[in-house]
Amino acid sequence: MKNTVNPPQPRLKERIETLCRDMIEKGILFSEAMEHFERCFITEVVRRNGGNLTRAATSLGIHRNTVSKKFNHRNHPKR
């Protein structure tokens, strides 16, 4: 049996720095980057809490109404 060693994963700080460089090179504005991060972060926390916005809000340390507003706005934009 061959012993395979997985290469170490880059630390979070290094991954974020790389992502920032890539976004800047692509001309992504700060406001766009923050909006995308917020959407991804909140969506993932809501998912990990089984869609329960109250538990997600507690995990995020923000009010449930804020999570509801941002989650619903991000996932169901006005047409």
pLDDT tens digit string along 10-62?
799 999 999 999 999 999 999 999 998 998 999 999 999 999 999 999 999 99
4, part of any domain: no
13, part of any domain: no
Looking at this protein, which amino acid is placed at residue 76? H
What is the Cα–Cα distance from 76 to 64, expressed in whole angstroms? 17
Q: At 6, is the pLDDT very low, low, confident or very high (cuts 50, 70, 90)? A: confident
Range of the domain at 58: 31-79
pTM of the shown model:
0.70
Q: Which CATH number do you get for residue 56?
A: 1.10.10
What is the Cα–Cα distance from 59 to 67, expressed in whole angstroms? 11
